[in-house]
Structure 1
Amino acid sequence: MTRLWNEPENFADEMIDGFVRANGRWVRKVSGGVTRSTRSEEPTVSLVIGGGSGHYPAFGGLVGHGLAHGAAMGNLFASPSAQQVESVARASDQGRGILLSYGKYAGDVLHFTEAQDKLRADGIDCRTVTVTDDIFSAPADEKDRRRGIAGDLTVFKVAGAAAAAGYDLDGVERAAILANDRTRTMGVAFTGCTLPGADEPLFSVPEGRMAIGLGIHGEPGIDEVDIPTADGLGEMFVERLLADAEIPDGVSVQGARVVPILNGLGSVKNEEMYIVFARIATLLEDAGIELVDPQVGEFCTSFDMAGVSLTLLWLDDELESLWSAPADTPAFRTGSVDSTSLVERDEIDDSIADEVIPDASDDSRRAATTIVKALDAVKAVIDENADELGRIDAIAGDGDHGIGMKRGSHAAVDAAHVSLDKGAGAQSVLASAADAWSNKGGGTSGAIWGVILRTVGEHLGNTDAVESARVADGLGSARQAVMDFGKAKVGDKTMVDSLAPFADTLTERVAAGDTLIDAWAAASTAAKNAADATADMMPGMGRARSHGEKSLGVADPGAVSLAMIAAAVLDVLRAASDH
């Protein structure tokens, strides 16, 4: 288990501080993560990678010459926010375009895409290549739906080498896509990982059994088998990864050249992995494959998870040249980098302009006061239920929903109070809370709550009285905005399953003439009933999608937390009406 921390909620920030102080030769801290401390004499395309913390050396440990130019580093197992990604990208930009690359998880896709859109709006050419190497997370004919695990390394290394070689953005993007198309990974685990401060691991495996097809965020495996011998594990890896459906298009196994990467997920020792690798090497060579630059060690971990994964990068001449090119980072070094060609970077300004508060009417400021009280209530109900939200999320997800909602709601409350003290109206208070929740909460829930608060605020404005119809219209628009943003629909077993009936019921009851309190009470009941009903659903979106029946009998944590929040806000509305 994870043993050393101060306050669990500060773990990621304090880890990044220590990482930068220990690795100043390679990296410099910026808002949202790290960027290179040096640059090439000639500007290149910039590769910006990222994801949640807890996977070292991914992602900060892979920043340096020949690999990434910057890494956005989110909270534990939570995607970095769009603001973090944008900040790191701007700090890493050299004027020749930016390639964003990360493992394909819902929260990462939402935040990185939002950051990409903001960069493009400012005229910066920004592209994205997601990593989709995990063969167990979707069938071979749906490879674009797969998640990224240890194959991150091969895609990042190829893209970083292409940038260092002077490729333009089209070329770097093409090379990264090719590397991803030719990378396959399979992982297994013997025990789950334990987040700092947690008493129990995110999942457990029965004694003598092994989980197959796990994720790197504490998601449980998709299947379980008896623990094999080291040779047996090597045979399982090779058999699955050499299945016909997993051989990349245009590749013939006989005579192929392959980079094998045996990755430790946190607590399996190198000595154990070398025993497994001996069998893997024999089997690959017996199949007619030539091994190129084998790697055994930790490249993408999951805290203290006892597990290993095998990645195969199927080479062509270009990929082999790029994989073999020199790289010098805190955690991955190969070849000889000419450090005389590197120059110290100028001071980086990553400061954020002070918030400008628009004029607001007295009516809107009064509404803003109630909104802040509602956010205080949201914070309290999340604090009270964070452990339970994490528990139900861990059954088929990664167990971080409670802590993510806690970080997000705390940040939203702090930002809202600051705006209110400056005389902000309803829209400005909600906009400040939205930005803070999205930035500090991270993950899918952080992005979505940012969308909800911001959308509602736009309907309320800063000058008009807050009327029931405006509130209902705002939540109706938020419902649609969330569905457009995250692509989830009713029945996918997500937050949408409680948000949609909540917004719809509120709109219907307000239109029928109910007071806001009566309409909200009916909507809150609808949200609670809908959240409970998600227990009987099969997941269609998010990390739980890969685990199917494991989530049956357990309600979706996002739907549950929304229903809790709706009930907490109802209490505030009732209290406000009594004064």
Structure 2
Amino acid sequence: MTRLFNDPARFTDDMIEGFAAAHPEHVRAVPGGVVRARPTRAGKVAVLTGGGSGHYPAFCGVVGPGFADGSVIGDVFTSPSAARARSVAEAAEAGGGVLFLFGNYAGDVMNFGLAARQLEGDGIPARCFAVTDDIASAPAGQTARRRGIAGGFVVFKTASAAAEAGAALDEVVRVAEHTNARTRTLGVAFDGCTLPGADAPLFTVPEGRLGLGLGIHGEPGVSEDTLGTAEDLARALVTGLLADRPAGTDAGGRVAVVLNGLGATKYEELYVLWGAVARLLDEAGLIPVRPEVGELVTSLDMAGCSLTLTWLDEELERLWLAPADTPAFRRTAPREPAADQAAAR
């Protein structure tokens, strides 16, 4: 249950105020969300993440050098308005245009699309991209209908790194599209989440069961199954993702991996699960590259987790490993082999 709030109707506004006060070195609050504390260089593409609140660290927690330039924040599990999106874009825009990145939900597609058209009318190049990584929400032949869940983190990271490196707007969009096409996610819920001020969760899962294919806005899974061991769950997640491997990728190879907790699953549990996942990936001939295990795209207090695989090529691996410094995610530059050898002596 979400216990700490003042007026439930002001939960998001109060959260933004506290978030900006806690991280003044990274962000400043603007109408509609947050942007980087210090302006980016002239001509850089402004990459903006966005969606409803309730998903921290997504979306505002990844604003900072190497990652997003700003975040458009709606009410809990509610698409931000076009006015909010336009406000944040105008505060973050530095002359290189704007890219809105968000999950594939009708409200987000509509409102961010409207904001982009309004910005274009004002002479600011603006594009939108909706992430579609959730394999449970539509069959393989209908990937454009799929929801965006935790795999959006990888898409946001690579697109942001491309923009940080100086790529033009069309090139940053291409990177987002390329990453999304090679990204697959499958999630499970053990129990539902409760909105601020509500006295009951949005859904429940029977004891000893799990919901397979959950959403991140309080949507239950698309089916139920028995909750077995961590090994059983790891096998179900890995098998499901490998069965939906993107066309044109190798059966083996290098992958970005995100084992994501949804808000109420303890890190110790995630590491037990990761041990099994890592063994199964190794058996499949897949090499995890800087895997992330923890809470990156949550759903308030939902108990559950998701597994994301992104099949990397040389370009995507470089962007996945690029440095970033944000309130919720920090990555230093990869160590050179010579430095590793020197440290070992």
TM tier, smaller? over 0.9
Q: Which residue of 2 aligns with 1:31?
A: 31
The alignment partner of 2:157 has SS state of helix
Question: Does 2:297 correspond to 1:310?
Answer: no
Structure 1 segment 217-256 matched on structure 2, within 5 A? 217-243=217-243, 246-254=244-252, 256=253
Question: Does 2:205 correspond to 1:208?
Answer: no
Unaligned runs of 5+ in 2: 335-345
Question: Does 2:9 correspond to 1:21?
Answer: no
The CA distance in 2 between the partners of 1:289 and 1:175, in whole Å, is 22
The CA distance in 2 between the partners of 1:28 and 1:6, in whole Å, is 22
Question: Residue type of the partner of 1:99?
Answer: L
The alignment partner of 1:136 has SS state of helix
Question: Residue type of the partner of 1:145?
Answer: R
The alignment partner of 1:259 has SS state of strand
Q: Which residue of 1 aligns with 2:274?
A: 277
Larger RCO, structures 1/2 (Cα 8 Å, 6+ apart): 2
Question: Residue type of the partner of 2:4?
Answer: L
Instruction: State the percentage of identical aligned residues.
Output: 55
Q: Which residue of 2 aligns with 1:72?
A: 72
Query: How much has 1:124 moved relative to structure 2?
Result: 1.1
> Whose radius of gyration is greater, 1 or 2?
1
CA deviations over 1:359-415 (Å, ceiling 9, x no partner): xxxxxxxxxxxxxxxxxxxxxxxxxxxxxxxxxxxxxxxxxxxxxxxxxxxxxxxxx
Query: How much has 1:108 moved relative to structure 2?
Result: 0.6
Change (3 A) 1:42 1:265: same
Query: How much has 1:42 moved relative to structure 2?
Result: 4.7
Query: How much has 1:259 moved relative to structure 2?
Result: 1.1
Structure 1 segment 366-377 matched on structure 2, within 5 A? none
Q: Which residue of 1 aligns with 2:137?
A: 137
CA deviations over 1:109-152 (Å, ceiling 9, x no partner): 11101101100111111111110000001111100111100011
The alignment partner of 1:129 has SS state of strand
Task: Spell out structure 1 runs of 4+ moving beyond 6 A.
Answer: none
Give the counterpart of 2:258 among 252, 258, 261.
Answer: 261
Q: Which residue of 2 aligns with 1:119?
A: 119
Question: Residue type of the partner of 1:86?
Answer: R
The CA distance in 2 between the partners of 1:44 and 1:162, in whole Å, is 10
**How many aligned residue pairs are there?**
334
Q: Answer whether contact 2:42 2:96 (CA < 8 A) is retained.
A: no
The CA distance in 2 between the partners of 1:291 and 1:109, in whole Å, is 32
Query: How much has 1:306 moved relative to structure 2?
Result: 0.3
Q: Which residue of 2 aligns with 1:416?
A: none
Query: How much has 1:153 moved relative to structure 2?
Result: 0.5
Unaligned runs of 5+ in 1: 338-579
Give the counterpart of 2:285 among 288, 308, 315.
Answer: 288
Q: Which residue of 1 aligns with 2:10?
A: 10
Query: How much has 1:39 moved relative to structure 2?
Result: 3.1
The CA distance in 1 between the partners of 2:305 and 2:320, in whole Å, is 22
The CA distance in 1 between the partners of 2:277 and 2:43, in whole Å, is 41
Q: Answer whether contact 2:101 2:131 (CA < 8 A) is retained.
A: yes
Question: Residue type of the partner of 2:257?
Answer: P
Question: Residue type of the partner of 2:24?
Answer: G
Q: TM-score, normalised by structure 2?
A: 0.95
Query: How much has 1:319 moved relative to structure 2?
Result: 0.2
Between structures 1 and 2, the one with greater helix share: 1
Query: How much has 1:40 moved relative to structure 2?
Result: 3.9
The CA distance in 2 between the partners of 1:15 and 1:33, in whole Å, is 10
The CA distance in 1 between the partners of 2:41 and 2:20, in whole Å, is 23
Give the counterpart of 1:301 among 298, 301, 308.
Answer: 298
Give the counterpart of 2:324 among 327, 337, 347.
Answer: 327
Q: Which residue of 1 aligns with 2:341?
A: none
The CA distance in 2 between the partners of 1:176 and 1:41, in whole Å, is 21
CA deviations over 1:517-556 (Å, ceiling 9, x no partner): xxxxxxxxxxxxxxxxxxxxxxxxxxxxxxxxxxxxxxxx
CA deviations over 1:458-491 (Å, ceiling 9, x no partner): xxxxxxxxxxxxxxxxxxxxxxxxxxxxxxxxxx
The alignment partner of 1:266 has SS state of coil
The CA distance in 2 between the partners of 1:247 and 1:220, in whole Å, is 24
The CA distance in 1 between the partners of 2:122 and 2:218, in whole Å, is 37
The CA distance in 1 between the partners of 2:41 and 2:245, in whole Å, is 40
The CA distance in 1 between the partners of 2:225 and 2:194, in whole Å, is 22
Q: TM-score, normalised by structure 1?
A: 0.57
